[in-house]
Structure 1
């Protein structure tokens, strides 16, 4: 995680039409014993990562109620693609669990380095507000159990189990 002061700070501002565009949903929730498995797919690995974070937030609240009032930049790194996915989602979980309790409606990967396993992203949303956002299921943790990243030509998908 970067210590530049910009990362993990919610910046409220007017967003452009491009930033406000919501991509098609490309994820689903799969039942798993006492947990839930997120399955995300896309045209490339960037889209898979974007969809995975959106899926996690969608499990925590009705993300259609989340306004994109600003953004938060996050960075993560890992030792391989699976560890990168874990770290990336864990950063989002941390941003939700601590001030300003940020919840994203949309996530955009700004850069992913598949050789060095680093990622930079921008999430659009707002601070969580119980009077506005219905409380979904609490996500306690990201797990390594059955965590899979498929990043092959014409096959981009991932699976991750979240502890609820």
Structure 2
């Protein structure tokens, strides 16, 4: 810069102005060493980004692996479904998607990854006790809410009676 005019790019200008305003002061992690514990992993930045942003990368899985992940959650993921017919429809739809995935052409030299179809009757049999347990939990929670509401209403009635009694000079 000795004697030659200094030209500042627009980016450099924005950085300099931000520094002058103090925009880079007191940032999280300032003055601390960088965490390079996973720097040997080529996908470290994707994993950190997903963790920081709390992203579910399950949607990024190839078809067969996404289907396998979905099947691994059965029947627990179906416990909120109330009707057995709906559970059967969901499971039959899953099996249709597995069969459709198998019709896709293989890419590359490796054999294609396949997801297994599931036995609908066996899965429904595993779903029934889970659903019964959930219904029992919901019934108990409803009874507790009703008892609490009844106790609150009784206390309010008692309070309102005593208020009226005090107003009329009887209490």
Q: TM-score normalized by structure 1? A: 0.25
Q: Which has the higher contact order (CA 8 A, sep 6+)?
A: 1
**Structure whose residues are more often helix by fraction:** 2
Q: In terms of Rg, which structure is larger?
A: 2
**Structure whose residues are more often strand by fraction:** 1
